[in-house]
Amino acid sequence: MRPFGSKALLLTEGGGKFDIVRLDGDAAKIEVVKDGIKGPCAVVQVGGTAWVVEGQQSTLFNPNGGTPGPFKAYAVQLPNG
């Protein structure tokens, strides 16, 4: 999780999503930016781009999970914060 602007967070979810969580007082709205990432584990913002890294933990730590494929870092264009 990383800050994004003054009222939002960049968030990766183990279910394969990269989100922006927009905060408004006690409420939050989740905006899915990219889906289908195999075990995203980290995100960092560089300018207007978010780099989202695959962790593939479900494959690595599951004896029946198979062999992990190549690990990827996705460059995702960010909307205005």
pLDDT tens, per residue, the chain with 81 residues: 999 999 999 999 978 999 999 999 999 999 999 999 988 999 999 999 999 999 887 777 777 767 777 889 999 999 875
The span from the CA of 40 to the CA of 54, in Å, is 4
Q: Can you point out the beta strands (E) in 1-81?
A: 2-3, 8-13, 17-24, 27-34, 40-46, 49-54, 73-77
CB atoms within 10 A of CB 51: 13
Q: Give me the pLDDT at residue 81, please.
A: 55
Q: Give me the pLDDT at residue 64, please.
A: 79
Residues counted in the chain: 81
Read off the pTM.
0.84
Question: Each residue of 26-43: pLDDT tens digit?
Answer: 999 999 999 999 889 999
